[in-house]
């Protein structure tokens, strides 16, 4: 399984933010099916004020460059994307990659990985320190 984390801002308008939240209570079926069809197994979006954080879990064959293009070929998913962009804006220090909208986030901590390393190094005592 691959995991991706991305961030994006909503335009700082409380009414628009509420509308964005409302629209995500019932995402169009074609969008849901399209995401699943390209290998996205789980997608969650969190919001604080106007900042969004999205975490995506995919199958191991997922390639963002290839698979998002496939997703974007469907007219209904294109329509959803255009609608959502009316609410969104890139974060101030966004990636400069052409066509990038959501900004990739770098992982800095993984509890499972560190616990696994700790156990294999034999560094953990019975108190977990």
46: containing domain: 2-121
Which CATH number goes with the domain that contains 37?
3.30.70.1090
In a domain, residue 127? The reply is no
In a domain, residue 128? The reply is no
Tally of domains within the chain: 1
Does 24 qualify as catalytic in the annotation?
Answer: yes
Tell which residue, 6, 14, 17, has the closest CA to residue 86: 17
pLDDT tens per residue, range 49-66: 999 999 999 999 999 889
More reliable by pLDDT, 125 or 16: 16
| Catalytic residue selected from 11, 24, 36, 76 | 24
In a domain, residue 77? The reply is yes
- Termini Cα distance of the chain: 30
Tokens for 48? 């604080």
CA pair distance 17, 101, nearest whole angstrom? 18
Reported confidence tier of residue 127, pLDDT bands at 50, 70, 90:
low
């Amino acid at each position: 399984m691959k995991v991706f984390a991305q961030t994006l801002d909503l335009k700082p308008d409380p009414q628009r933010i509420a509308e964005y939240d409302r629209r995500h209570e019932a995402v169009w079926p074609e969008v849901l099916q399209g995401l699943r069809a390209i290998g996205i197994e789980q997608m969650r979006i969190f919001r604080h004020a106007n900042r969004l954080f999205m975490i995506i879990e995919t199958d191991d064959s997922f390639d963002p460059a290839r698979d998002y293009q496939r997703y974007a070929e469907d007219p209904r998913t294109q329509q959803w994307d255009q609608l959502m962009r009316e609410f969104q804006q890139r974060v101030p220090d966004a990636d400069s990659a052409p066509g990038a909208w959501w900004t990739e986030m770098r992982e800095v901590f993984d509890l499972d990985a560190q616990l696994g390393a700790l156990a294999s190094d034999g560094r953990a005592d019975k108190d977990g320190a």
